[in-house]
Amino acid sequence: MSDKKPLNIGMIGYGFMGRAHSNAYAKVNHFFHDLEYRPVLKAVCARNKEKAQAFADAWGYESVETDWRKLIERKDIDAIDICTPNNVHREIAIAAAEAGKMILCEKPLAMNSGEGEEMVRAVEKAGVANMVWYNYRRVPAVTLAKQLIDEGRLGRIFHYRTVFLQDFTIAEDVPQGGAGLWRLDASVAGSGVTGDLLAHNIDTAMWLNGDIARISAMTETFVKERVHVESGKKEPVKIDDAATFMARFANGSLATFEATRYARGHKALYTFEINGEHASIQWDLHDLHRLSYFDHNDESRVRGWRSIHVTDGDHPYMDKWWVPGLQIGYEHTFVHQVADFIEGISKGEPAAPTFADALRTQRVCDAVLKSAETGQWLDSGLSSG
């Protein structure tokens, strides 16, 4: 590994995504042998020094910072990885860009597209490599879906149908805010399921099927008041607990999108189905290594839905892992994204989605929330729509 150039990582936040990314940095060179760079876990930053130190010890970070500004000032850091809640993405990203650092930022890009625009301007002005962690693009079965669509196997696309269902906020006594439940606090999360879940569906959908042109949405907040962890008092809930929208893509296809945290029995059921003139595709996060595919060109006697076990060496990313038939999972999507980011730096071609790509998703999220408020069909705000 000594032949690799170091890519010194400074990561901010050590929660769920902090672990997922740290694991990816640690593994990437073991499996992707041709990369020019080797991520070095230089520093982790969080406000609580003891907890940050414990995380650094567990994952092998060389040092700890408690103020992200200090981390950004450090000359020995090449890339800043933003794994904090959404309300601080903008400030950290702009400061990191001004300091000339590469930036890997968690999704959604920002609290809203106004913030996102500022972030895009900052990275473009600074000319720094930037990427947003919409990791589901890098599930091999999802990447295979992209290949099949780009090869024209589906023909004209008529329908796109997608959901992201969870059930963890149904109880009225679940509080809002604080370290564990910032997702329920609109001042920290920006929105509810729209930014947290639908943003993933939208990113994948526009990657697979092109821009969304128009939308009509409805949202609901089923539990109107919850105790706020910080004040200890009941406060209004300002996030969307559930969001559903209809869409027209620029290519003329029709779509439905749904996300909720009130679908009893579902923990993270992210699915999509695409119906084209010649073929259809289905994918399900609970069975993420399979792609269901129906091809009308098959001889009619044997025509039917196939369940492709996406584990062969000629499937996307799979030649890097085990042997055909042995599957990989969720954590590997982050390894793939790091590998693609590093390849992008070497080639001078940014790995997608960039901040500019993620801003397009953010614009659709904003349109969803606005349409739900006004009850009107709206343009997505994307120019090609």
Ligand X SMILES: NC(=O)c1ccc[n+]([C@@H]2O[C@H](COP(=O)([O-])OP(=O)(O)OC[C@H]3O[C@@H](n4cnc5c(N)ncnc54)[C@H](O)[C@@H]3O)[C@@H](O)[C@H]2O)c1
> Which residue, 15 or 175, has its beta carbon nearer to ligand X?
15
Shorter beta-carbon distance to ligand X: residue 47 or 125:
47
| Among positions 21, 42, 101, 107, the unique one binding ligand X when judged by CB under 6 A | 107
Q: Which range binds ligand X by CB under 6 A, 25-33, 81-89, 220-228, 294-302?
A: 81-89
Q: Which residues contact 366 (CB under 8 A, 6 or more apart)?
A: 112, 113, 381
Binding flag, residue 133, ligand X (CB under 6 A): yes
Angle at 354 between CA 46 and CA 283, to 5 degrees: 95
C-alpha–C-alpha distance, residues 224 and 21, integer Å: 34
Closest distance to ligand X from the beta carbon of 176 (Å): 13
Cα–Cα distance, 327 to 347 (Å, whole number): 29
Least CB distance from residue 13 to ligand X, whole Å? 3
The verdict on 175 binding ligand X (CB under 6 A) reads no
Q: Which residues of 54-87 are buried (b: 16+ CB within 10 A; e: fewer)?
A: ebbeebebebbbeebeebbebeebbbbbbbbbbb
- Selected from 4, 15, 266, 308, the binder of ligand X by CB under 6 A is 15
Which residue has the CB atom at the shortest distance from ligand X? 15
Answer for the pair 187, 88: CB distance below 8 angstroms, yes or no.
no
14 binds ligand X (CB under 6 A): yes
User: Binding to ligand X by residue 322, rule CB under 6 A?
Assistant: no
* Residues 51 to 70 in contact with ligand X, rule: CB under 6 A: 68
Give the residue among 341, 329, 320 at the shortest CA–CA distance from 9. Answer: 341
110 touches 132 (CB < 8 A):
no
SS3 308: strand
Closer to ligand X by Cβ: residue 61 or 293: 61
Q: What is the dihedral of CA 272, 277, 279, 284, to 10 degrees?
A: 0
Residue 252 Rama label (left phi>0; alpha psi -120 to 50; beta): left
Both tokens assigned to 59? 């994952």
85 contacts ligand X (rule: CB under 6 A):
yes
Residues from 31 through 50 that contact ligand X (CB under 6 A): 45-47
Q: What share of the chain is helix, strand, coil (3-state, %, to 5)?
A: 40, 25, 35
- Minimum gap (Å) between residue 56 Cβ and ligand X: 12
Q: Which of 16, 100, 298, 346 binds ligand X (CB under 6 A)?
A: 16
* Total binding residues toward ligand X, as defined by CB under 6 A: 22
For residue 13, state whether it binds ligand X (rule: CB under 6 A): yes
For position 293 contacting ligand X by CB under 6 A, the verdict is no
Instruction: Enumerate the β-bridge partners of residue 258.
Output: 163, 244
C-beta of 122: minimal distance to ligand X in Å?
Answer: 18
Chain centroid offset of residue 121 CA: 21
Smaller CB separation from ligand X, 13 or 210: 13
Q: Does 289 bind ligand X (CB under 6 A)?
A: no
- 197 is an interface residue for ligand X by CB under 6 A: no
Query: Quick one: 14 or 245, whose CB is closer to ligand X?
Result: 14
Compare residues 14 and 25 and give the one whose CB is closer to ligand X. 14
**Piece of 12-20, 137-145, 201-209, 245-253 that binds ligand X (CB under 6 A):** 12-20
Matching residue, tokens 């982050």: 334
Residues lying near ligand X in the complex (CB under 6 A): 12-18, 45-47, 68, 83-86, 88, 106-107, 133, 135, 179, 196
